[in-house]
Structure 1
Amino acid sequence: MNKIICGVDVSKEWLDAHVEPSGAAGRFRNDAAGIADLASWCQGHGVELVVMEASGGCERLAFLLLWELSLPCALVNARSVRRFAEAMGCLEKTDRIDAAMIARYAQAKRAQPSPPPSAAQQRLKALVARLGQVTGDLTVQKQRKSAAADAETVASLDEVIALLVRQSRRLEGEIASLIDDDPLWACLDRAFRSLKGVASRSVARLMAELPEIGILSNKAIVKLAGLAPIANDSGKRSGRRPVRGGRAGPRSLLFLIARIVAKYDPHLAAFHQRLQTAGKEKMVIRIALARKLLVILNAKARDARIEFANAT
Structure 2
Amino acid sequence: MSGIGIDVCKKHLDVAVFQGPARQFNNTAAGHCKLVRWLNTLPVKQVVLEATGGYELAALDALHQAALPVARANAQRARSLANTLGRAKTDRLDAAMLAYMAEKIDLHPYVPLEPWQRRLGEYVRARQQVIELLKMAKQQLLPVADKPLRKMLQGNIKQLVRSVARLDVLIAEQLKTLLIEHPHLAILKTLKGVGPVLLAVLMCRLPELGTLGGKQIARLVGVAPLSNDSGSVRGKRGIKGGRADIRQTLYMAAMSAARHEPRLRDFYRSLRARGKEGKVALVAVMRKMLVILNARVRDERAAMRPA
* CA distance in structure 2 between the partners assigned to 1:111 and 1:196 by the alignment: 32
Which of 194, 201, 205 is matched with 1:209 structurally? Answer: 205
Confirm or deny: 8 A CA contact 2:184 2:304 kept in the other structure: no
Change (3 A) 1:177 1:305: farther
Q: TM-score, normalised to structure 1's length?
A: 0.80
Q: How does 1:229-244 map to 2 (within 5 A)?
A: 229-244=225-240
CA RMSD of aligned residues (A): 3.3
Change (3 A) 1:32 1:261: same
Confirm or deny: 8 A CA contact 1:131 1:171 kept in the other structure: yes
* CA distance in structure 2 between the partners assigned to 1:105 and 1:40 by the alignment: 22
* CA distance in structure 2 between the partners assigned to 1:240 and 1:83 by the alignment: 19
Alpha-carbon distance, 1:32 to partner: 2.8
Aligned to 2:6, the other structure's residue is in SS state: strand
* CA distance in structure 1 between the partners assigned to 2:250 and 2:107 by the alignment: 29
Corresponding position of 1:192:
188
Which of 129, 132, 152 is matched with 1:133 structurally? Answer: 129
- The answer to whether 1:291 aligns with 2:287 is yes
Corresponding position of 1:36:
33
* CA distance in structure 1 between the partners assigned to 2:45 and 2:193 by the alignment: 46
* CA distance in structure 2 between the partners assigned to 1:272 and 1:24 by the alignment: 53
Task: Report the AA paired with residue 273 of structure 2.
Answer: T
Q: How does 1:42-61 map to 2 (within 5 A)?
A: 42-45=39-42, 50-61=47-58
* CA distance in structure 1 between the partners assigned to 2:33 and 2:292 by the alignment: 44
Q: Which moved more, 1:217-226 or 1:149-158?
A: 149-158
Structure 2 segments unaligned to the other structure (5+ residues): none
Task: Report the AA paired with residue 263 of structure 1.
Answer: R
Aligned to 1:7, the other structure's residue is in SS state: strand
Q: Which moved more, 1:154-163 or 1:127-136?
A: 154-163
Change (3 A) 1:305 1:173: farther
Q: TM-score, normalised to structure 2's length?
A: 0.82
Corresponding position of 1:303:
299
Change (3 A) 1:173 1:69: farther
Once the two structures are superposed, residues 158-217 of structure 1 have per-residue CA deviations (whole angstroms, 9 ceiling, x without a partner) of: 654565455434433433343333357753553222233321122112222333222222
Q: Which moved more, 1:156-165 or 1:195-204?
A: 156-165
Change (3 A) 1:185 1:194: farther
Q: Which moved more, 1:221-230 or 1:12-21?
A: 12-21
Q: Taking CA–CA contacts closer than 8 Å with sequence separation of 6 or more, which of the two structures ends up with the larger relative contact order?
A: 2
* CA distance in structure 1 between the partners assigned to 2:219 and 2:43 by the alignment: 35
* CA distance in structure 1 between the partners assigned to 2:77 and 2:254 by the alignment: 30
Count of equivalent residues? 307
Confirm or deny: 8 A CA contact 2:87 2:93 kept in the other structure: no
* CA distance in structure 2 between the partners assigned to 1:203 and 1:308 by the alignment: 20
Structure 1 segments unaligned to the other structure (5+ residues): none
Q: How does 1:72-83 map to 2 (within 5 A)?
A: 72-81=69-78
Change (3 A) 1:104 1:263: closer
Once the two structures are superposed, residues 204-246 of structure 1 have per-residue CA deviations (whole angstroms, 9 ceiling, x without a partner) of: 1222233322222222222222222223344443333222322
Confirm or deny: 8 A CA contact 1:198 1:257 kept in the other structure: yes
Alpha-carbon distance, 1:274 to partner: 1.9
Alpha-carbon distance, 1:258 to partner: 1.5
Alpha-carbon distance, 1:82 to partner: 5.2
Change (3 A) 1:185 1:199: farther
Q: How does 1:244-283 map to 2 (within 5 A)?
A: 244-283=240-279
- The answer to whether 1:227 aligns with 2:220 is no
Confirm or deny: 8 A CA contact 1:227 1:244 kept in the other structure: yes
